[in-house]
Amino acid sequence: MKCTNNNRTSVNRVSVNTGPGEHTGRGASARSRAAARKRRLMKKRRRQQRIAAVLISLVVLIGAGSAAFFLFSGLSGDTVAAYGAEKYSRSLYEGTLFADDLCVSTEDVALDGFADDASFYAAGLFNLNSRSVVCGYHLYNRIYPASTTKVLTGYLALKYGNLEDVVTVSEHATDFEWDASVCGLRTGDQITLYDLVCGLLLHSGNDCATAIAEHISGSEEAFVELMNKEARALGATGTHFVNPHGLPDEEHYTTAYDLYLMFNAAMKDERFAEIISMTSYKGTLTGADGTVRTETWEASNYYSSGQVQAPDGIRVLGGKTGTTDLARNCVILYCVDSQENPYISVIMGASSRNALYEAMNRLYTAGISA
């Protein structure tokens, strides 16, 4: 009995002693397995994330490459051509068109039979049909233009004005020295813009130039800004004007080639050509008191006035003269040969009027008649 009780007690003791130890071992094992599963899951997720990142990167690279390929392919064809034509090629294209009907030379051009000398500052002969510079002497040298300035003034009057407009002459337009070239305008006179342009181009009236400037732009200063803007637009980049008539100023200058550009543009207007071809014009003016009078304006170039004859086979239609002490004697002319081929000719800075027209006839003989 005692033995049995001892055994049961022993068993119970063992059961009591071993039970708690066995529970603690099973809990640790479960936690370990759970941690292991968690680590495996995390590793799997990280692998999946890396694979996904790689796949995404590949997709992005492939997409970017494809887009670049198609973009490049497209732009290399019609798209680039269209864009280039619209943007990058525009200035070159316009430049080609701009010079397409011009006589162009980057340097002076010698002409057999026409010797350049100190009797003038610059000279040029331009064949408008062949678009060639037949002769060029000091074409790009800066010179005083004198009243050849009025070529641009007349061009702008025709471009921006209404020739039927009646202009009231201001006091400023009549404020010139007694020996200045004028057409006899008086303060308060009323005269059409057409008559002003005739007086400007034929008789070289400084008063006409100022009246035109004030009518077109509101002031002489504003008109001068327009002159310089338009000169640049015509390619006359060696030109800068400070007045509409050409009286001397250090900042008032041009080149023989720029004068050709301006005169060439003006001659495309038939009204300009018609006016310079006149030998004289009778202007009608209404004074401030209502009195109507007329003024006769003779052409200032010697070919139109009949004082000089051009060489045989050459007919001078007209042009524009200019004379000051600094500019000396200048003229730019439009003429045709016996086949009606047109030319523009210019002599700037001749020592006298006789020397001016002698040089011009030598230029005609060497460059056109020969």
Residues with a catalytic annotation lie at 147, 150, 204
Mark 238-263 as b/e (b = at least 16 C-beta within 10 Å).
bbbbbbbbbbeeeebbbbbbbbbbbb
Q: List C-alpha distances in Å: 218 to 158, 195, 214, 225, 252.
A: 16, 19, 5, 12, 21
Structure tokens at 200: 């400007």
Element housing 136 (H / E): strand 132-137
Structure tokens at 290: 């209502």
Q: What is the Rg, in whole angstroms, of the alpha carbon atoms belonging to the chain? A: 45
Which residues have CB under 8 Å from 298's CB, separation 6+?
202, 203, 279, 280, 305
> Which residue carries 């230029």 as its tokens?
363
Structure tokens at 1: 């009995």
CA proximity to 316, closest of 331, 326, 328: 331
Give one DSSP letter per residue of 153-195, joined into a string. Answer: HHHHHHHH--TT-EEEPPSGGG---TTS------TT-EEEHHH
Angle at 173 between CA 168 and CA 178, to 5 degrees: 135
Which residues have CB under 8 Å from 12's CB, separation 6+?
none
> Quick one: residue 63, left, alpha or beta (phi over 0 = left, psi -120 to 50 = alpha)?
alpha
Element housing 67 (H / E): helix 2-74
Strand 132-137's sheet: what is its strand order?
Answer: 132-137, 122-127, 342-350, 328-336, 315-324
- One-letter amino acid of 229: K
